[in-house]
Amino acid sequence: MQKVRTRIAPSPTGSPHIGTAYAALFNYVFAKKNKGDFILRIEDTDRTRFVETSEKEITEALSWLGLEADESPEKGGKSGPYRQSERLEIYQKLAAELITKDQAYYCDCSAERLAKVREEQQARGEVPRYDRKCREEPPKNKENCVVRLAIPLNGETTFFDEIRGEIKFQNKDIDDQVLLKSDGFPTYHLASVVDDHLMEISHVIRAEEWLSSTPKHVLLYDSFGWEKPKFAHLPLLRNLDKSKISKRKNPVAVSFYREQGYLAEALVNFLSLMGWSMPEDKEIFTLKEMIEEFTFARIDPAGPVFDLVKLDWLNGHYIRELSDENLADRLVNEGFVEKTKKEETKRYLPLVKERMKKLSEFESLAAYYLNDEVDIQTEELIKISDHSKEETSEILEKIRQSLAPLEDWTQESIEELLNKEQTETGWDKTKLFQSIRYSVSGTKTTPPLGETLEAIGKNRVLTRLEVAVKKLTQ
Ligand code: GLU
């Protein structure tokens, strides 16, 4: 039996797209499930959209996600080179072969003529396509020609999609596709089929948007007389409003998710839920577990919705599962905390971990532990205390004075003392505690007050209360 070999073939046009990560995940999982190889091929034949740094970013994104390719431009392998721009001669030779076999033909129609034909067809309400002039009257001069595939004029092209079943296209609806451009560069169709064949790709697993290209590819395989791979078209990722995922409504760069502090394993888990499901609808699972359970049959082709609320929820879960040591390492490695602050960070993690949905939130959640000063507004403080300016400053001063001699600076002793003060003064407990909380942390939500004060430390608490009182009496 043929060895399972899958690939992703991104075009290096910028920062890698989340759709590339999605395709990579399913290709990786299917390959590993079948003890096969997963290949990274760079489709860099469109020189106008080429971005120099993109290939490196793609490799880094795969490595961050734990979806390392077995063969790639960087690693090499038996089917290289893995950059299409380094394979031009192969495409040119094979395109010439198709011409000899009468499966393809030269075309010298100018851009102006093609535009005119298109306009006329549109005016007649027809689907615009090449009118096959050069198929009937071959150009005399082969210089500066493109090469087009001679699509059969009648009949239909069918193929089996592993997710969608049998798919049928009428040949009369398929355009005589350009295979080789006049500058000698192949189009996506030629390069992709040639490479999938020569790289012995057994399964082409790619996004739904390529479904309409597949009949052209099937006809190309037939023209060459090559065996076809199996095809699977993954469902299109959608925005919340069900439209195709787009930058305008959803961040689409993998780097965005990393910079925001999503954990790679959470993002992978989230992407695996896009159209695929685990038996018993288990929502949280590892890549290894997905590999164990993977079948195409569990993919629902109806477009899955890319829901960031769900991703946040999953990410929060993964953050809480990490040990403090591990989480501190992640914060340092991903650039959210300076290396020298790792130990200090570890101390505060138990206090903020519960509320952290992304690594990027650590800084704001822990600001009152990490920084010397906090920012408070007197108006806000008065609103929280629900007492006059004078009464508020008096009570905070009283609290400061009673905390000052406390030697056993622990959550229990602090709480005991604060409760005693509250009973004595007769203040509403919520209002009093919130006023203290805001004065010493600059926020209205923190873990329980005693715990917060203990972690902030005695000196800082006393200073912050003093600052609050001063601000109120100014
Ligand atoms: N270069 C195409 C892309 O950027 C590859 C499509 C395919 O997988 O065949 O997605």
pLDDT digits (tens, 9 = 90+) for 272-287: 999 999 999 999 999 9
- Averaged over 48-63, what is the pLDDT? 97
* Ligand 1 neighbour 11 (Cβ under 6 A): yes
Q: Tell me: the pLDDT tens digits for 121-130?
A: 999 999 899 9
* Ligand 1 neighbour 196 (Cβ under 6 A): no
CB contact burial 368-404 (16+ within 10 A = b; e otherwise):
bbeeeebebeeeebbebbebebeebbbbbbebbeebe
Rg over CA atoms, the chain: 31
Q: Are 3 and 36 within 8 A, CB to CB?
A: yes
| Phi-psi region at 335: left, alpha or beta (left = phi > 0; alpha = psi -120 to 50) | left
Distance CA 78, CA 88 (A): 18
Confidence at 303, pLDDT banded by 50, 70, 90: confident
User: Which ligand 1 atom is the nearest neighbour of the CA of 7?
Assistant: 8
What is the reported pLDDT for 185? 96
* Ligand 1 neighbour 210 (Cβ under 6 A): yes
- If you measure from the C-alpha of residue 255 to the centroid of ligand 1, how many angstroms do you get, rounded to a whole number? 20
Residue type, 36: G
- What is the residue with the minimal CA distance to atom 6 of ligand 1? 9
Q: Tell me: the pLDDT tens digits for 57-106?
A: 999 999 999 999 999 999 999 999 999 999 999 999 999 999 999 999 99
* Ligand 1 neighbour 186 (Cβ under 6 A): no
**Nearest of 144, 147, 35, 11 to residue 84 by alpha carbon:** 11
Distance CA 99, CA 179 (A): 11
Distance CA 56, CA 415 (A): 54
The alpha helices in 322-443, defined as continuous H runs, are: 324-333, 342-352, 362-365, 367-370, 378-385, 389-403, 411-425, 429-441
- If you measure from the C-alpha of residue 474 to the centroid of ligand 1, how many angstroms do you get, rounded to a whole number? 66
- If you measure from the C-alpha of residue 95 to the centroid of ligand 1, how many angstroms do you get, rounded to a whole number? 20
- Global confidence as pTM: 0.91
Q: Are 162 and 172 within 8 A, CB to CB?
A: no
What is the reported pLDDT for 6? 99
205: three-class secondary structure by DSSP = strand
- What is the residue with the minimal CA distance to atom 10 of ligand 1? 10
Residue type, 415: E
The structure tokens listed for 203 are 């399964």
Percent of the chain with pLDDT over 90: 93
Q: Are 399 and 421 within 8 A, CB to CB?
A: yes
* Ligand 1 neighbour 9 (Cβ under 6 A): yes
Distance CA 375, CA 395 (A): 20
* Ligand 1 neighbour 12 (Cβ under 6 A): no
Find the helix packing angle between 264-272 and 308-321, rounded to 10°: 130
Which of 185, 194, 210 is the pocket-test mutation for ligand 1 (most atoms within 8 Å of CB)?
210
CA distances from 24 to 126, 180, 417 (A): 38, 27, 58
The yes-or-no verdict on residue 247 having pLDDT over 90 is no
Please report, to the nearest 10 degrees, the dihedral formed by the alpha carbons of residues 277, 279, 280, 281 taken in order.
Answer: -10
Residue 146: CB atoms within 10 A of its CB come to 19
* Ligand 1 neighbour 256 (Cβ under 6 A): no
* Ligand 1 neighbour 214 (Cβ under 6 A): no
* Ligand 1 neighbour 206 (Cβ under 6 A): yes
- Averaged over 169-198, what is the pLDDT? 96
The angle at the Cα of 302, spanning 212 to 37, to the nearest 5 degrees, equals 65
- What is the residue with the minimal CA distance to atom 5 of ligand 1? 9
| Phi-psi region at 260: left, alpha or beta (left = phi > 0; alpha = psi -120 to 50) | alpha
Tokens 């590999």 appear where? 291
Distance CA 440, CA 16 (A): 43
Residue type, 439: S
Q: Are 428 and 386 within 8 A, CB to CB?
A: yes
- If you measure from the C-alpha of residue 191 to the centroid of ligand 1, how many angstroms do you get, rounded to a whole number? 11
Residue 164: CB atoms within 10 A of its CB come to 17
> Active site includes 247?
yes
The angle at the Cα of 189, spanning 184 to 192, to the nearest 5 degrees, equals 95
CB contact burial 289-304 (16+ within 10 A = b; e otherwise):
ebeeebebeebebebb
- If you measure from the C-alpha of residue 209 to the centroid of ligand 1, how many angstroms do you get, rounded to a whole number? 9
- What is the residue with the minimal CA distance to atom 3 of ligand 1? 10
Catalytic residue among 93, 172, 247, 444: 247
Q: Tell me: the pLDDT tens digits for 161-176?
A: 999 999 999 999 999 9
Q: Are 360 and 371 within 8 A, CB to CB?
A: no
User: Which ligand 1 atom is the nearest neighbour of the CA of 8?
Assistant: 8
- Averaged over 219-238, what is the pLDDT? 97
The yes-or-no verdict on residue 372 having pLDDT over 90 is no
Task: Tell the burial category of 340 from Cβ atoms under 10 Å away from its Cβ (0-12, 13-18, 19+).
Answer: exposed
User: Which ligand 1 atom is the nearest neighbour of the CA of 13?
Assistant: 4
- If you measure from the C-alpha of residue 8 to the centroid of ligand 1, how many angstroms do you get, rounded to a whole number? 7
Q: Are 18 and 254 within 8 A, CB to CB?
A: yes
- If you measure from the C-alpha of residue 276 to the centroid of ligand 1, how many angstroms do you get, rounded to a whole number? 21
DSSP code of residue 200 = T
